[in-house]
Structure 1
Amino acid sequence: ALNPPPPPPPEPELDEEGNPIPPPEPELDEEGNPIVPPAEEAPKEEEEEPISDDEPEEEGEEEEEAPPEEEEEGGEEDDDDEQEEKPPPTVEEATKLVEKASKLLKKASKVSRRLARSLRQLTKVAEKAMSQREHVVKRVELVKEDALAEVRSFFCTPPATYRAVKAVLYMLGKDPLTFNTWTKCRAHLTNDLFAQLAEFDATADRVMPHWKGVRACCKGLKPAALQAEAVIGDVFRVYVEHTKAVAKACMAQRAEEAALAEAQEKQAVEQAAVDEVQKILDEANERERAANPPPEEPAEGEGG
């Protein structure tokens, strides 16, 4: 068989003028020999990592957790058994407990008795103040007609009477803008005002913003100046004073009642404590008698 003809040599590359471009000169080493480029190594095939027996074969599978170890039963019971039970108190210890509780009860009872006496005194003071105020209210009712006629006859402002009337209006909780002049103040002097004074609850807690205005109006107010102007001014002054006395007495009475109730509650607690420790003492006495029975008496006819 005939050998095939050799392939034609590759056409040389030409430059812009059509001349063949000479091949590049080979790189030479220090001795002048051409440097042969190293042959490219074939890429190594990645080795597959061996599958471990510990890893799951399929994704998503998780190892089963080991069940929690069961606690040994009876552990707590053993601990309780190890703790020694506290022995019951002896007669001497129980007696000391009774004495201590009795002292506390005696102290609480003393406080209750003191508060009860104080409450009785405050009740008498409040009753006396209310009785005196009732007489003042009756007097206000008696002078009502003459007082109204007298006040309406004033064309000029009576300074002392004006302050006394304002004190009453403050106490009743009227709007100060409705009596900031004598003309406005005189408009309040009607039969309805006297009815409100008669029905006013002096035993209730005082509204302190109202009574602040009352104190400001009554400060330095002289009975002689009021009596020189009109009857109603001094009557209103006395009414305000007795109403204030009743309010203060009733407030003190309520405070003492609350204190007494608290003391009596504490006394009941101390009494229950005494009863409890007395029961413990009785049990201790029974145990002691059981542990030390009395000696048996000899029967008649024996011995001698």
Structure 2
Amino acid sequence: MPSEFDVIARYFTRPAPNGTLGVGDDCALFPVPAGMQIATSKDLLIEGRHFYPDVDPEALGHKALAVNLSDLAAMGAKPIGCLLGLALPGVDEPWLAAFARGFHALADTHGCALIGGDTTRSSRDLTISVTVFGAVAAQHALRRDGARVGDHVWVSGALGAADIAYRLLDGQLPADEERLAATRRALEWPMPRVELGLALAGLAHAAIDISDGLVQDLGHVLSASRVGAQLQFDALPVAAALQGLDHDTRIRAVLGGGDVYELCFTAAAENEDRIRQAAANVGVPVTRIGHVTEASGLQVLASDGRPMAALPRGFDHFPGS
């Protein structure tokens, strides 16, 4: 059986970018572009909580990095590098090879080289920790507290598919193999909107990635910015795979469903054409879904123009605590 150091060398050691000291020393070293600040984020993925034991390891390697790159995208930051921590119950070399393949493929796509980390043995389940570093000009960072009254509210991509896939896999919805096949990739292979975030830097006022549901995450922006918003439910980009589901299930998936990793952002109304062009340039669909209001709180208007009651809550690791 390979040692810890064999595992690191075989699956997670690659040439570091020029000017960077990567895997193999006590610390990684990387340069910061002049005039830029470091943006950093960390996520934990725990077996049984964030993924099922039988998940495709290549997909898991991809997602472990994708959820962190999505945070950089939400700040308009350019990826620099990342750290990976693995707590493994044992060494399964085919599994490690597939995991590393998914991780490195996405890292290469976005120029986010693996430059360090740690491996250890866990007593039972698999735990993954990823930390990412990016660079952003302070005046262009897409912070949560930048939304302004009158801004348009936008969202990228489509909503709801990942939530439906999760609930099908978890047994919360009746078995439907055709719908699971149509939604599962959205859950297991999310695509971080890094290029869109970079295109919006200096153009949008505020942004957040939708990891815990549109209502909850947009609510964080509104609270930080001390504003409110009004959305049109019929304007929301609903994933095609949700067609045929009952109304309540669709509402929960679209407004409260997490694991989306699309960007929700606000921008001045006069920038609408520039927003659409920036999104088209990077090949990401965006939809204007509402506007920022002076009155606090979030309203979602139904087809009849009335505010929807009892909006679904997003994901919370400690509900009721």
Between Structure 1 and Structure 2, the one with more strand by share is 2
Which protein, 1 or 2, shows the higher relative CO under an 8 Å CA cutoff with sep ≥ 6? Answer: 1
Give the TM-score, by structure 1 length.
0.18
Between Structure 1 and Structure 2, the one with more helix by share is 1
